[in-house]
Copies of this chain bind each other. A is one copy, B any other.
Amino acid sequence: MRVGDIAIGGDEFIVMAGPCAVESEQQLLDTAISVVRAGARILRGGAYKPRSSPYSFQGLGVEGLKILSKARQHTGLAIVTEVMSETDVEVVAEYADIMQVGARSMENFSLLERLGTCGRPVLLKRGMTATLEDLLRSAQFVVACGNPDVILCERGIRTFETATRNTFDVAAVPVLKTVSHLPVIVDPSHAAGVRALVPILARAALVVGSDGLLVEVHPQPDNAASDGDQSLTLEQFDTMMRDLDPYLGLRQASDKSCVAAGGIN
């Protein structure tokens, strides 16, 4: 699967990074410049936010999309951003390179159907209570509606354990890679819920065969409009990328497919 000159699901480990929400041009450009230097290939940032309250921050909407677009021009990063509503598909597709479907929307079949004809790859996040079978069914829905370019994203599931925000189902990666040909990435930020665990879960994701990461990064997490607790600072993201480096070396030295390398038939 190709996004511009980026191949997802191939040899390269693709890191998507950026703030939960686009808050300002300054915030986004600072982040974009920093993450591209650290090795990210795709910039994330929400322009339309799931608002659990009508009074909470809703995202900048089209203005946010324009800021994302400007960051792409400056840095060469491709853009992934969430689309929450069928009625926004067209405008989001105008600006974004990859259309993100959030965990809460994984079974919004009207939205999925519309994304089947949007002409952009879709990043589909696993619902917090979805089985892998449920996730694949939603992916197949997009494919059957005409769009073969779906990226699956494990982001933790809801369990009784409260030490982490969600329970990162690390085995989901090799299982999905075995039963499907679609790329699989991991969002360690939502899985962990606290930034201290993000780099270590990212490392686990890499070694079990994930095709990439989706990571929340913010210049000033403590002032973030949302998800500050689980966002890395620019410096911490850089440290994480350097920590991952030797593991990436092993990945390339060994078989391309971690499942083939470590799994046994």
- On A, residues with C-beta under 8 Å from B are 50-55, 84-88, 104-105, 107-111, 113, 116, 127-129, 131-133, 137, 140-141, 144-145, 157-164, 167-172, 174-175, 178, 191-192, 195-204, 207-209, 232, 236, 239-240, 243, 246-247, 250, 253-254, 258-259, 261-265
Q: Is the contact region of chain A dominated by helix, strand, or loop, or is it mixed? A: helix
| Cβ contact of A170, chosen from B88, B144, B201, cutoff 8 A | B201
Answer whether A87 and B86 are a contact pair too, CB < 8 Å, given A159-B160, A168-B170, A171-B201. yes
| Cβ contact of A137, chosen from B52, B105, B109, B202, cutoff 8 A | B52
Q: How far is the CB of A59 from chain B (nearest CB, A)?
A: 11
Closest to A103 in B: B107
Q: Which residues of B contact A144 (CB under 8 A)?
A: 53-55
Given A51-B109, A104-B108, A167-B171, 12 more pairs with CB closer than 8 A: A52-B141, A53-B140, A87-B87, A88-B110, A108-B108, A129-B160, A159-B167, A163-B171, A171-B201, A199-B262, A204-B204, A247-B247
Tell whether, in the assembled complex, residue B207 and residue A247 are in contact, meaning their CB atoms are under 8 Å apart: yes
Tell whether, in the assembled complex, residue A167 and residue B175 are in contact, meaning their CB atoms are under 8 Å apart: no
Tell whether, in the assembled complex, residue A200 and residue B195 are in contact, meaning their CB atoms are under 8 Å apart: no
Q: How far is the CB of A230 from chain B (nearest CB, A)?
A: 11
| Cβ contact of A129, chosen from B108, B128, B208, B253, cutoff 8 A | B128
Tell whether, in the assembled complex, residue A264 and residue B129 are in contact, meaning their CB atoms are under 8 Å apart: no
Tell whether, in the assembled complex, residue B175 and residue A197 are in contact, meaning their CB atoms are under 8 Å apart: yes
